[in-house]
Chains A and B, each alone.
Chain A
Amino acid sequence: MTSQTGSDEPAISCRNVWQVFGPNAKSKLAEALASSGGDSNAAAQKLRDQGLIPAVQDASFDVLPGELFVIMGLSGSGKSTIVRCISQLLQATGGEIRIEGENLVEASKARLIELRRRKLGMVFQHFGLFPHMTVTENVAFPLKMQGQNKTDRTKRALEVIELVGLKGREEAFPREMSGGQRQRVGIARSLAVNPDIWFLDEPFSALDPLIRRQLQDEFINIQATLKKSIVFITHDIAEALKIADRIAIMRDGKIVQIGTPTEIVLNPVDDYVREFSKDVAKGRHARVASVMRASAPADRAPDDPGLRQDMTLEAALASCISRYDPVPVWGEDGKMIGVVDPADLAAALQAEET
């Protein structure tokens, strides 16, 4: 959906991040890791046996600049905890968290405040709007923290409020607004300082299905123009597949699979992930590229259905359902880049039933 531009350095980089709750978590974790020889599962079990709670266990992943990275999992899987580690709302018990190369774990308090004022934005599940402030004051608050004067910050706040479609409600108080509108305020506030890194913690989970879909669509549009580096938390697989560049699936504090939506749907690593994607209509998420085979280039036949590699399986199958031979797939430049066997298409679509 987005092209990954910029330098090679990841926007966010997590290495072996642990979050353990309980007394003396830090030393207990070091002890457990040492005694289990670095085996994270054994270490986690050891911690559990001592009555501690390893909420995030040995998580490592990178988020590239401009990438929309979704972390998905059921409640209690540690997904909210990990985003709080990255944003430093919680201090990770172990591991390394880098934002644009800078290690946050070692950052000073003042540096963190500075980062939050300039670089980071966050949207919360229950909005977290300040009840005693109007919409404009809420949105302008991070700018106020930056030290901007009132005229400047109001001007910028009004811009963002317009961006999220709340023009006309600038002077309303949160209590006077619907859930969908409140979350628009939350989004506007997190965007006010024009952050490079954007955390969204289940931003649409508390909303009605219709409003949720509407906001998802608008969110995709906003991201298409802003190209932030995003960590997006959700428990809804459909939402994850709809918006994500890549998805990390968490279970019991562990990341069990990281991959593009197609990979998650077509090649689940275990039953847990398979269970998630069971109800998902695969044809709508997997692309032709995932079942394409290499082939010698050939000329275009008159009855060619014109498959492209970014078509969904569903669309591809619809256009070549009556064929038995491999069908050519064409690149954007009009050259043939491979073939797809209709039988493979059908097999991929049925994979979940077997």
Chain B
Amino acid sequence: MMVEDHSVAAPLRRLAGLSPASIAAMITLIVGALCVALEPTLPWLVKYPAAWSIPASDWIGSALTWFLGLIKPAMRIISAGLAYPMDWAHALFTFVPWPLTIGLVTALGWYIGGLSLAALGLGGLIFVLASGYWLESMSTLSLVAVSVPLALLTGGATGILANEFPKFKNAIQTVLDVMQTVPTFAYLTPLLFLFGFGPVVGLIASAIYAAPPMARNVILGLERVESDIKEAAIMSGGTRLQQLFLIEIPSAKTQIMVGVNQCLMAALSMVIIAAVIGGFKDIGWEVLLTMRKAQFGPSLMAGLVIVVFAMIIDRYSGKLATERSRYDGRVALAIGAVGLVAALAFWGKLSNPSSITLLDPVASWLDQSLTGFLKQNGGALDSIKNGAMFYALLPLRIGLDGAVLPFTWGFQWTPVMSAAFIAVAAAAGLVLALRGRVALGIILVIIAGVIETGVSDLPWPFLLVGAGALGWVSGGRKLATFAFVMLGLVLISGLWDRALLSLYMSGASVITCAVLGGAIGLLCAISPMAWRVVLPICDMLQTIPLFVFLIPVLMFFQIGEFSAFLAICLYAIVPMIRYTRHGLVTTPEELIEAAVSSGATEWQTMIEVRAPYAAPTILLGLNQTILYAFAMLVIAALIGTTGLGQSIYGALAGADVGLGITSGAAMAILALVADRLVQGFAEERRQALGL
């Protein structure tokens, strides 16, 4: 483990002969045990007293309100200015007759990707037309069409700036990091205050949200241009601008196109999320409306329309980022011309796309069969939900002592049971410790303690010290301080209770995703057949805008914590699967051959060689899963989570800038701390393997 030896614990460690991990775990355990033991006399050790909190939300709220008030007039001018292009785009997108739009999109698909993309574009748009959501979709697209160029310009300029002035690079990258972890809804509250209700807020939010991925990829792409290429440009006598625009940016084109792709997807996702503000008849609003009315057929239909658009945009722009063969432009022109002719020929005879109801029977059939299904299997679904709640989620949240009741488990949890439970865990831990796995043994005891107490009742010193200890083990003193101080900020901000609830929800989902996703990834690594099935599902899940995940879970499990949990898992499991498989299958051939020639079975190769080699990659997957879970946590607040997500959503509804910002910041802090800790471990593993 990489820890500087001049740390305080060094002499202690030498005395006991323990690894830093063991010592960190031990300290955490002792702090936790002390807090619990002293609770009767010193209750503030467990529950942070409200009186000690500073009214951070109020302070930040009034400071921000004052500041935002100052820049409000300027912003209103910008918003008025932006209203023009938005109106034009909206008028254009809704005015162009649908045969022409379909023709153009299909032609574009042919031009960049041949038959398969053309078919995707054609089929997708015909579905949208048939669903009757054409105009709403075009409204959404017109927002995207204005916000994306804004995002591309600002993101690209930021990336280039970071590249040209290395002094600012670190600062810019930190800002980008933070912007990516600040939950989407948190952007909306101050924007709402600045710009008032209306589609402009969605537009600006989506531009802000979509710019960082572009900036990141521009930075990355420019960084990765081979030094020989850069030097060749210098030696050819190019000025700095010539080097940049004639050589470096074109050389980085592939990476930059990845940025464009991510930018488009982020913009679409945010435009749809911004529908919660309302005021614009777009497809996101349609989903929200039907969901609120529990019309799941139409809701699913609208959700599918969003998915179709996401897929078209993703596959089209994704294609641009890969090496591609060139397709005949004349075919594309012909397809476009067919669309134009059709539009002109039937001018005036085209039915209003909103009145097309081809798929309405499908929607109502879906609705009915769903209702039927729910009637028939409601009991089974309920028992799944209750089982998960009673036996897993509730104990994790409020602890065995609170969750085990005659109503749930059939008996009452007694202090004797608590003692027995802890004693068994301690015995198991002791056995592990005696076998030399000291750290693991202590961690086992800590986990038992957490389950007994419940995440929402954990003593705050235990969590702060625990995070610090993890930081110390994974990245040394600096990371330990970072974790400790950041969580301390959340603690004194008065949002601690809500943060604990968020921690519980994301923790539960992340653990589930890690176990399930890891298993699926392993399966896919072993069996290419399984991967062929799982890969398109993963692609699909990553393309769908966050919002749409809510529809299916709501259909089956109604509003509540379990639905939120499921939605988070559905979204956050993907990176875990991908990275696990990737790590396991990319073990160098030589290592595997060495293992096989030493007589290892396939399973032994997996455990002894592939898994350790894949560890850093899998940890990065876990890291992504954590970030995904936090991102979804806020969206899931729409359908019933408590915690910070709910505060952010509430702040949005009440236009409470202070609460929105502080809750968003608290959420970002949780995500950042988790991110740094896991990255620290991944880095430590990478260095240990010499990668």
Contacts and interface: CB of A to CB of B under 8 A. Distances in A.
A89 B232 contact: no
Contacts of B348: none
A126 B226 contact: yes
A113 B237 CA distance: 5
A281 to B, nearest CB: 34
Most chain A beta-carbon contacts within 10 A, residue among B228, B229, B237, B253: B237
B242 to A, nearest CB: 7
B238 interface: yes
Contacts of A193: 237
A121 B234 CA distance: 11
A189 B232 contact: yes
Interface string A91-133: 0000000000000000000000111111011101111111110
Interface stretch (A8-16, A139-147, A228-236, A317-325): A139-147
A87 interface: yes
A130 B251 contact: yes
B598 interface: no
B235 A126 contact: no
A145 B251 contact: no
B247 A89 contact: no
Interface in A71-92: 84, 87, 89
Nearest to B230: A128
B170 interface: no
A186 B232 CA distance: 9
B234 A116 contact: yes
B231 A122 contact: yes
B252 to A, nearest CB: 10
A128 B231 contact: yes
Interface string B236-275: 1111001000110011010000000000000000000000
Nearest to A199: B235
Contacts of B228: 124-128
Contacts of A190: 235
Contacts of A127: 228
A130 B234 contact: no
A129 B229 contact: yes
B592 to A, nearest CB: 28
Contacts of B234: 89, 116
B241 to A, nearest CB: 11
A124 B231 contact: yes
A145 B237 contact: yes
Given A132-B250, A132-B251, A120 B232 contact: no
Nearest to B225: A131
Contacts of A141: 236, 246
B251 A116 contact: no
A118 to B, nearest CB: 8
A130 B234 CA distance: 12
A131 B253 CA distance: 10
Interface in B64-79: none
A193 B237 CA distance: 10
Given A113-B239, A116-B236, A146-B237, A130 B231 contact: no
A118 B228 CA distance: 20
Contacts of A118: 237
B485 to A, nearest CB: 28
A122 B235 contact: yes
B232 A130 contact: yes
B503 to A, nearest CB: 41
Contacts of A129: 229, 232
Contacts of A121: 235
Contacts of B235: 87, 89, 116, 120-122, 142, 190, 199
B136 to A, nearest CB: 40
Contact of B226 (A84, A116, A128): A128
Nearest to A87: B235
Most chain A beta-carbon contacts within 10 A, residue among B231, B232, B236: B236
Contacts of A87: 235
Nearest to A143: B236
B444 to A, nearest CB: 44
A275 B335 CA distance: 71
Nearest to B228: A128
A117 B253 CA distance: 26
Given A87-B235, A142-B236, A128 B229 contact: yes
A122 B228 CA distance: 10
A307 B251 CA distance: 57
Interface in B451-486: none
Most chain A beta-carbon contacts within 10 A, residue among B231, B232, B246, B253: B232
B292 to A, nearest CB: 50
Contact of B242 (A124, A131, A145, A186): A145
A333 B250 CA distance: 60
Contact of B232 (A84, A115, A117, A124): A124
B250 to A, nearest CB: 4
A186 B226 CA distance: 14
Nearest to B231: A89
Contacts of A132: 250-251, 253
Contact of A145 (B230, B231, B236, B250): B236
Contacts of B229: 128-131
A122 B239 CA distance: 17
A173 B251 CA distance: 13
Contacts of B230: 128
Given A117-B237, A145-B236, A193-B237, 13 more contacts: A84-B231, A116-B235, A116-B236, A124-B228, A124-B231, A128-B230, A129-B229, A130-B247, A130-B250, A131-B229, A142-B236, A189-B232, A190-B235
21 contacts: A84-B231, A116-B235, A116-B236, A116-B237, A117-B236, A122-B231, A125-B228, A128-B228, A128-B231, A130-B229, A131-B229, A131-B251, A132-B251, A132-B253, A142-B235, A142-B236, A145-B236, A145-B238, A145-B242, A189-B236, A193-B237
Q: Closest 9 interchain pairs by CB?
A: A117-B237, A128-B228, A128-B232, A116-B237, A142-B236, A124-B228, A122-B235, A132-B250, A145-B237
